[in-house]
Structure formats: structure tokens, C-alpha cells
Amino acid sequence: MAKRVGMEVALAVAEAVGQCNIDMAAVYPITPQSHIGEHLSDLVADGKIDAEFVTVESEHSAISAIIGASGTGARVYTATSSQGLMLMHEILPIASAMRLPLVMGIANRAVSGPLNILNDHSDIMPQRDSGWISMFVENGQEAIDLSIQAFKIAEHKDVNLPVCVNIDGFQLTHMVEPVEFPDQELVDKFLPARVPFATLHPSNPVTMGAFAMSDYFTEIMKAKDEALKNSKKTILAVWDEWAKIFGRTYKPVETYKAEGADILLVTMGSMGETAEIAIDELREKGVAAGLVKLRLWRPFPFAEIKEVLTKAKKVLVTDRAVSFGGPGGPVCGEIKAALYHEAVKPAIYNYIIGLGGRDVRVSDFTSMINQVAAADASKVTDTYEFLGVRE
Amino acid sequence: MNIVENFDLFAPRLINKKELLSSGHRACSGCGEVLGVRLMCKALGEDTVIASATGCMEIVSSMYPTTAWEVPWIHVAFENAAAVASGVEAGLKALRRKGKIADRDIKVVGMAGDGGTMDIGMQALSGAMERGHNMLFVCFDNEAYMNTGIQRSSGTPMGASTTTAPAGKVSMGQKTWKKNMAEIMVAHNVPYVATACPSFPLDFIRKVEKAKKVKGPSYIHCFTVCPTGWRCPSDQAISLGRLAVETGIFPLYEVENGQYKLSAEMPKKLQPIKNYFKSQGRYRHLGEDEINMIQGKVDKEYGKLLNKVECLKAWD
């Protein structure tokens, strides 16, 4: 049985990636990701992992370099945050169209401006339609587990897509948490060597990243969409296998005291744990509130979301980013779309919370839920609210 | 003896017969750039992986589901060919060290046009060269953004008319001096930098072969005539390349570990640049004063180059 240790989550992520027999990593410094890159380079410098660590001159080159290395058949990793992810934006859909199994850790941070180094989800949301598998974690242990699982999912022969693991910056990356590393032998068994579909090698020359106009482009886009949707089967199978070997279960949509709840709160990322405390308090006071935590952002778990949310009268969706001039928060927009065709559907309320690192306390969750509990569901509108905003 | 005149005699011994960039690609007739790429591939041989930037050479060679490439080839985007190449190099290095692929020397080559090298790709190239990857980067410089329609780049020479720096009633076209990219690469202290032109095929091939043997980063700046963009007859692609060299507009030289060496192809006495300008539509608007002004700069720069050849010997 693996030993429990206290470790900063960013370092734990690097340790976990180090357990995956990676061949190459390219990481550029940015707060709050930097500790992942620093610790990975420590592991390489100490000979604990046999990999090339490429100290690129930008995040754009980080993602470009790992694409090149992945093309050779190498197992590759990068990590970034915020502006770094925005700089990579151009290359993200190319990576998924090239069907390369990249793995990226994202220490989620607000996007400028104004410049802000603290946590929200405004960096990952503009990447939503890039064709990447995108997952969120809630604590250090999940960050370790999903970072390892990500390679297995990405490299699976039925997937061959890039995967990003979203880890809330500071709130998670800089916390020292009790975590447990899986035994190396078990990881090696769980994650065998990558078997690439094609590689850049003179023994069998291939052309990667060809030019395609209107006669093929639509088919390639459809193939990417199908691949991303189909990846869910593999994701579920990998989580099933993980549970059997390591005893920790993962689902696309996690729930907490959702059974019999009239009001369901939806969170994504590290705030789930704070929200759990709020649900406990409300349940003690007799409020029938429950929690739904979205783990899988892409492919979006439509079936699971419908299954759990249609049972409630009211749904309170929290978003950590804004779709300016649009439907409010991107998570809420997705949930509304998922429920549109349901015959019986809950009233949906949307709160934008925790932007740029603004603290969201247990009392904030209880007060949001109490407000929604008091609202008349027949009068719900398509508005959204910025929690605690000074106007 | 002029080797080019006895080409049939010498070629089989001097040039790899195998075509690694196949015919049937979609380049314009008279394209100097695709000739450069073809010769580069011949010099590199089969143990090569190429990372290409977006641009003419990418779109003419890789129209899905066809390909002209007989060597492994990857294209990702416009500005990142050097970064992709550095990743390919790092990936192959790790896999080879870990015994996951055969223990075999493979040269990784990045390639881009003047825009993809000197403008938008400059940062990625500078980073890759500074990091010391075992890779060759070749800039195929046709002096403007030809793929998008002859817009000016920092490689466009003074006085040339382009679609974004056109000659007009109050404009002589390009108002800036061409960026000296080879010198910028020399400043990165890489072991080997050279300039070349496919109008001098054996010189170019020899330089690519030399770069291939370098353990570390190397850079070749290859001057390639673009009849479409330069508004000149397509049968002049070779002769204009020769004139660019023989007028000193684009001198051929090598810099090995900081030591400059003029290539044997350089004439003892340069021709006047007007001989090079006259058949090109992009220079047609230039008057005598403007040509003299440019001639002055060419003479000065060539003099500086000759000085570097001499003076830097002291630092060998």
C-alpha cells in the first residue's frame, strides 16, 4: 500500500508525471504553473526520470515542441497557465486534428486584463472548442491520479487525442495536501509504453500536418468530433480500471448528497470541497440541497448531467468565467443546452463566482442556495449574477 | 574549368540521384524555392526528418491526401517550425537513448520562408538555436510573403515593390534595408552558418552536407528567386540567382565557428546591381539616384564582409 505524504500539489503533479515514463517535456515558466516545471526539471536533473526537458522560449514553442516530439512517438508533457495557455491557443486545435496524445497540466489562472495571477477558469474556457479532452480535479490526490490517467486515455488506440488536466492555480497548486502516490510497479502495469499509430522516422516516412481544403476539411472535422465523443467510452473504462487497481473511483459527474435534493448546486474544480461543507450545513438545517461536481468538461457528459439534474426543481450553476455578452457563464450555457429537450426540467440559476482569485466561502455558497431556495421557480429568467460584486 | 558546363559528367558523382521531394508538386513554373528544397533533400539523404513552416513549400507539397515528401515531414503552423524541429530532435534523442528506436543518426531540419524565419518565426528560431539542438534550419528566402500574395517582409530588399509596400507617386516601394538574418544567426554562436543559392547547386549541396555533419545547430540562408513575386520571366530563375550573387546583393559565404570564408563562387569583381535589377518588375520604378543609393549600400556591406573574412582570422 502506498504511503501518505504531505506535499505541495504542483510538486505532486510533477512527481506523478515522473511516474509515467515520459520521454520529453517542454515547459515555460508562468505563475502559478511554475512549480510543476521546476520540479519536473529537478527530477530530470537528478536522473530520477529519463527524459529530455526542453527549456523553450515561450508556451507557443512548448506546445509546438511537444507536438514535434509526440510525432516521433515519444510520450510528452507540458504544463501552463492563463496567458501561456492563451498563447498556445493557435496550436491546440492543430494538436487534436493531428491526433497526437499530448498531456498538459493547467494551473488555472485568470486571463488579463487587468493582469491577475490568481485562480479562475477564464484561461481554459476559450480553449473549449479546441478538440481536447478536458478534465477538472478537486484536490491533490485527484491531480495525481488524473495526471497519470491522462496518458493512458490520450494514447489509447481508440482516442489519440490530447488531454488537459485542469488544476486550480494557487487554491490547489500551492496547497500542501496529504496525498498518496500509486506504487510504481502498478503504474507501469496500468500505463504500458505508448504504441504510436505512425511516427516521424526514416524507416517509414510519413507526412504529418498536411494541407486540406474544402474537399476533405469537413470530413476531418467530423472525424475529430466523433473521436472526442467516442473518447468517453475509453475514459470510463480507464476510470474503471483505476478503481480496480488503486481503489479510487472517478466519474464524469460526481455527486454529493444529491439524492432527494430539491436544489442542486453545480461546481467545477477545487470549489467542490468548500461547497460540500455548505451542503452539510444546509442539510442539517433541513434544506434539501445537494451538490453536483462536473469532472469531465470535454467530452461534455450530457447523459450524466441530464440524469442527475432533471431530478431537482432548481439548479444553481456556478461559473468561474464569463462569456461576455453571451449567456453568462460557459458551464451554465452548456447545462441549459443539455436540458433543453427534457420534458421536465429544473429552473436554472447562474452565478459567476471567484473571478481572479476572489475568495468564495462556505457562507457564500449557503447564501446563494438560500437565495435560490427563496426564489419563485416559475419566474426564473435568463439572467446571471456576479456574486458579491460592488456596483 | 566550369563545373556547371560539364554538369552531366560531374553530376552523378556529386549529387544524390534519389528524389526525396517528388515531382508532381504544385509549385509555380520557374520556382527557385522548390528547386532549393529539392537540392537540400538530395544533400541530406534519407536519414532526415523535416519540420516545415506554413508557406508556399508547405501548400505545394502536402495537399491532402497526396504528398510530395519521401522523407518524414511534419507541418504544424507558420511561426513554429524551429520549435517543432527542436521537439522532433528531443523526441528522437530520448527514444534513441532509451532504446525505443534504432540507434541511428537522423538529421532534423527545420525550414521556412523569409517571413516564417525572419519575422513571425524569429523567436522560435532564436530559442532553438540558443538551446543547441542538433538541427539544421534552412531559410528559403524569396524576399516577400509570396504565398499570401507578395506582401513585404523584413527580408524584402530596399526599393522592391510589393503589395503592402508598393511603389507609388510618393513611394519607392520598400523603404527599409533587408534584415541580415545570417548575421543574427552568427550572433547566436552556432557552429555553422552559410548563405547559399540553388543557382550554385554544388555549392549549396556541399554546404547542406557540411551542416548535416555538424553536431549542434546550424543555419543556411538560401536565396531563392520567385518569378511570380519578382515579376520576372520564369526562365530567369537561375540566371537572376547568379546575378544576385555576382552583384554582391547576396554574397555567398560560410561562418564556421565564427570564422568567415567567402565561397569560391564569388567573383573577383562585382557586377553593378543594375544588371540584376533590370529584368525584375519589382525594381522597374527605380530611378538612377535610387539605384545609386542602393549600390552604395551593397558596396559598403560587401566591404564589411570582406573585412570580417580577414580581420576575424586573428581570433581563430
pLDDT at B314: 87
How many CA atoms lie less than 13 Å away from A18 in the CB half-sphere? Answer: 22
> Alpha-carbon torsion A167, A111, A231, A70, what sign?
negative
Is A231 in CB contact (< 8 Å) with chain B?
A: no
Q: Considering CB atoms only, which of A26, A199, A202 is closest to B71? A: A202
For chain B, give the mean pLDDT.
96
Residue B289 Cα to chain centre, angstroms: 30
pLDDT for B12 beyond 60: yes
Q: Across residues B283-312, what is the average pLDDT?
A: 97
Domain count, chain A: 2
A55 and A13 in one domain? yes
**For A350-367, what is each residue's pLDDT tens digit?**
999 999 999 999 999 999
Is B105 in CB contact (< 8 Å) with chain A?
A: no
A265 and A219 in one domain? no
A290 and A222 in one domain? no
Interface test with B, best of A41, A49, A72 (most B CBs within 10 A): A72
Q: Looking at this predicted complex, what is its ipTM?
A: 0.97
Residue A391 included in any domain: no
Give residue A2's pLDDT band: very low, low, confident or very high (50, 70, 90). Answer: confident
CA distance B70 to chain A (A): 6
A381 and A303 in one domain? yes
A175 and A153 in one domain? yes
The residue behind cell 456596483 is A391
Residue A61 included in any domain: yes
- Grid coordinates belonging to B203: 555549392
A240 and A302 in one domain? no
CA distance A205 to chain B (A): 4
- CB < 8 Å from B in window 199-218 of A: 199-203, 205-213, 216
From A196, A212, A246, the end of a domain falls on: A246
pLDDT at B15: 85
A310 and A231 in one domain? no
Using DSSP's 3-state secondary structure scheme, residue A168 falls into strand
pLDDT for A62 beyond 70: yes
Domain boundaries, chain B: 3-315
Residue A29 included in any domain: yes
Residue A329 Cα to chain centre, angstroms: 16
Residue A329 included in any domain: yes
Question: B218: closest CA among B36, B40, B35, B33?
Answer: B40
Tell me the fold of B3-315: Rossmann fold (3.40.50)
Residue A273 included in any domain: yes
The residue behind cell 450524466 is A304
Q: Considering CB atoms only, which of A69, A199, A213 is closest to B87? A: A69
How many CA atoms lie less than 13 Å away from A247 in the CB half-sphere? Answer: 6
From A246, A262, A296, the end of a domain falls on: A246
User: What's the CATH code of the domain at A380?
Assistant: 3.40.50.920
Is B124 in CB contact (< 8 Å) with chain A?
A: yes
A370 and A239 in one domain? no
**For A200-250, what is each residue's pLDDT tens digit?**
999 999 999 999 999 999 999 999 999 999 999 999 999 999 999 999 999
- Rounded distance, CA B32 to CA B16, Å? 19
Is A51 in CB contact (< 8 Å) with chain B?
A: yes
Interface test with A, best of B63, B76, B111 (most A CBs within 10 A): B76
Is B267 in CB contact (< 8 Å) with chain A?
A: no
Q: Which domain holds residue A61?
A: 4-246
- In chain A the beta strands, taken as DSSP E runs, fall at 4-8, 24-26, 52-54, 76-80, 103-108, 133-136, 163-168, 176-180, 207-208, 253-256, 263-267, 289-294, 296-298, 314-319, 347-352, 384-386
**For B211-247, what is each residue's pLDDT tens digit?**
999 999 999 999 999 999 999 999 999 999 999 999 9
Interface test with B, best of A92, A94, A203, A211 (most B CBs within 10 A): A211
Residue A138 included in any domain: yes
Is B74 in CB contact (< 8 Å) with chain A?
A: yes
A105 and A8 in one domain? yes
- Count of CB contacts below 8 A, A vs B? 173
What is the four-CA torsion angle of A161, A166, A169, A174, rounded to 10 degrees? Answer: -100
Contact A73 B91 (CB under 8 A): yes
A140 and A202 in one domain? yes
From A193, A223, A246, the end of a domain falls on: A246
